[in-house]
Structure 1
Amino acid sequence: MPELLLPRCARLDLAIDLPAVLAALQRVASDAWQPHFNSGYHHGDWSGVALVAAEDAIVPLAPGQGAALRLAWWQAEAAWQALLAPFASSLRAARLLRLGAGARIHEHRDPDLGRPGGCLRLHIPLLSPAGVEFLVDGLQVPMRPGECWFIDLSRPHRVDNPGPGERIHLVLDCLPDPWLASLIEKGRAQTPGLCLGRAGQAFEQFRQQVAQDPLLAARLQAHQQPQAFVAEAISLGAALGLAFSEAEVLSAMRRGKQAWSDQWRA
């Protein structure tokens, strides 16, 4: 098949029986949840339960190169069977991933995803408090429970769950077969526009204030090193009641605002 040009994200046209899946989720044993193996990537509870895993995975939530094995614990659950059936030919991994209230996944990339011969990652939100932010390139992906989304996670991304309540997604890694490629291409045109997250909006307000205030501009201009520049921007923003982090500043630069930072450091 020709190389698939990946969008940042795409909402796929798939019907999901969310009430049946939520009922099945309630029957997952509490002691089945395991801490995520990427312990340095998050703060708070990030844990999961594998449904399908590579036979050579060191732990069930970790990737592997071996054959995809369907674990035994869910085989009698019709809801999981129906949900995974459309992906039978391409599915390499499936796991429930839980992000607890007050937890966050720090910004990172998954460079193995989307490369030639690599898998594509799909997210199916099952439980998601209204305040959850899933940001890719600093932009909020507006996923809702019961939807299925492709997301290009080779790009910088991070997740924040302020609560209340836990966020649980079913996350699938699939080979890019023609059926899935067609779904992504169709979904690209039907996907709603993305917007800045809360902290990104705060940074945009700060950027506008800097453009109008020579004193703020001079404070930033005094810092020639990027790390010092970012730290000063965060400090000045906080003094103005605008809370954002290093990730927002760097994401803004990646979205084409490098000229803005260069202007005040020139």
Structure 2
Amino acid sequence: MTDAFHKLPLTFDIQRLKQDLWMQQQQLWIEHINRHVHDGGWASLPLRSVDGRIDNANVVETNPAYYKNTPYLEQSSYLKEVLASFQCTIVSARLMSLQARQEIRRHTDLDLRFEDGCARLHIPIQTHPAVEFNINDQSIHFGEGECWYMNANYPHQVFNGSDINRVHLVIDCVVNDWLRALFSNSGYQTKISDHKYGCANVDDNNVSQVIAQLECLGSETALALAHHYKTIKG
């Protein structure tokens, strides 16, 4: 049993997913802002973003009140249906593409752990067995039309060894009773954490750097988390 990833008992119509993807292929996809971990092959199309903007796919602010559907989602009838099927608050939703023969290098994200109240879910729309996903040094393949949780607080990386672009629908959502039941009833077991800062990738060695990064972001959520870490650090 691992808390690095978990397959949820949800499946979606692959052909309808791909039909909506095909409709959006010619839109202006946004290169992922974290250029330290990719060489230009990682891009996103925002479906729910801050203020519903189509020129910003970044997920920095985690308050769902700031997020709205984009015109791209309004044009995608089945993707709207998929999101509506989740009986929890959805913060952001994006189509995320990794080009053929490209990689996303090893990195971590903050505050994207089920136990912390925000879960990142992946629904693969277009993928291939040669896509190698590694989370916390464990390899896993997410199949088309499936729904997977991944603990993005853990170090993770992806290599697309195929000749096609890998595209996932990536959803960040607020954990509620419905989502807890979905996880529990499908066998997920919460891993009790004894991490000082409540996060696997924050410790005494890097907490000052993490605090500085959060303060640079400047959002209400980021500043609150920076203050929380400062209080623990003492």
Report percent identity of matched pairs: 29
Pick aligned residue for 1:43 from 33, 39, 42: 39
TM-score (norm 2): 0.72
Other-structure match for 1:146:
145
Q: Secondary structure at the match of 2:45?
A: strand
Pick the aligned partner of 1:19 from 7, 12, 15: 15
Q: Which runs of 4+ in 1 moved over 4 A?
A: 56-59, 115-118
User: For the structure 1 residues 189 and 111, does the alpha-carbon distance in structure 2 shift closer, same or farther, using more than 3 Å as the test?
Assistant: closer
Inter-partner Cα distance in structure 2 for 1:56 and 1:76: 13
Structure with the greater alpha carbon radius of gyration: 1
Matched, 1:71 2:70: yes
**What is aligned with 1:162?**
161
**Cα distance 1:55–1:118, how it changes in 2: closer, same or farther (>3 A)?**
farther
1 or 2 for the larger relative contact order (CA 8 Å, sep ≥6)?
2
Preserved contact between residue 127 and residue 166 of structure 1 (Cα < 8 Å):
yes
Does the aligned pair in 1 maintain the 2:113–2:119 contact within 8 Å? Answer: yes
Are the aligned partners of 2:7 and 2:147 in contact in 1 as well (CA < 8 Å)? yes
Q: 2:6 aligns with which of 3, 10, 20?
A: 10
Verify the 8 A CA contact 1:150 1:184 in the aligned structure 2.
no
1:14-64 alpha-carbon deviations (Å, 9 max, x no partner): 131111110111010423211111111113410010000123989521112
Q: Between Structure 1 and Structure 2, which shows a larger proportion of strand residues?
A: 2
| Counterpart residue identity of residue 154, structure 1 | N
- Number of matched pairs: 185
Work out the CA distance in 2 between the residues paired with 1:131 and 1:115.
Answer: 28
Cα 1:34/1:83, change in 2 over 3 Å: same
Asked if 2 retains the 8 angstrom alpha-carbon contact of 1:53 and 1:61, the reply is yes
- Cα RMSD of the aligned pairs, angstroms, is 2.4
> Is the contact made by 2:49 and 2:56 (CA closer than 8 Å) also made in structure 1?
yes
The aligned residue for residue 33 of structure 1 is 29
Higher helix share: 1
1-structure distance, mates of 2:177, 2:114: 16
SS in 1 for 2:6: strand
The yes-or-no answer on 1:62 pairing with 2:87 is no
Aligned-pair CA distance for 1:175:
0.3
Letter in 1 for 2:147: C
Structure 2 residues without counterparts, runs of 5 or longer: 190-234
Structure 1: how far apart are the matches of 2:158 and 2:175? 25
Output the TM-score relative to the length of structure 1. 0.64
Aligned to 1:176: 175
